[in-house]
């Protein structure tokens, strides 16, 4: 199974616009690669620098470790989609 992971550090509006944009771009990449029906893992308004637990990331890592997920599409550190 393929997974998508999206995250926004701080969502002041609560509209989830950034994670929705990331999801759309990551889905396009997954589709272009022929990876059907990827599962979405999303952490909205959780900064990576605070030390707070990111529940979706923890779930994704567990799925990778168990072998349930074999490919992951994420939004690159510079905020652009990464293959």
CB 3 within 8 A of CB 75: no
pLDDT at 33: 93
Could you read off the pLDDT of 29-59 as tens digits, one per residue? 999 999 988 999 988 766 666 777 778 889 9
Retrieve residue 37's tokens.
């029906």
Please tell me the pTM assigned to this model.
Answer: 0.74
DSSP string, 6-72: EEES--SSS--HHHHHHHHHHHHHHHHTT--SPEEEEEES--TTS----HHHHHHHHHHHHTS--EE
């Amino acid at each position: 199974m393929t997974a998508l992971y999206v995250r926004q550090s701080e969502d002041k509006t609560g509209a989830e616009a950034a994670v929705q944009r990331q999801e759309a771009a990551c889905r396009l990449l997954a589709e272009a690669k022929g990876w059907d029906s990827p599962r979405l893992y999303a952490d909205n308004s959780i900064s990576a620098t605070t030390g707070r637990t990111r529940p979706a990331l923890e779930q994704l890592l567990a799925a990778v470790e168990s072998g349930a997920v074999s490919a992951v599409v994420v939004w690159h550190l510079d905020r652009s989609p990464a293959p």
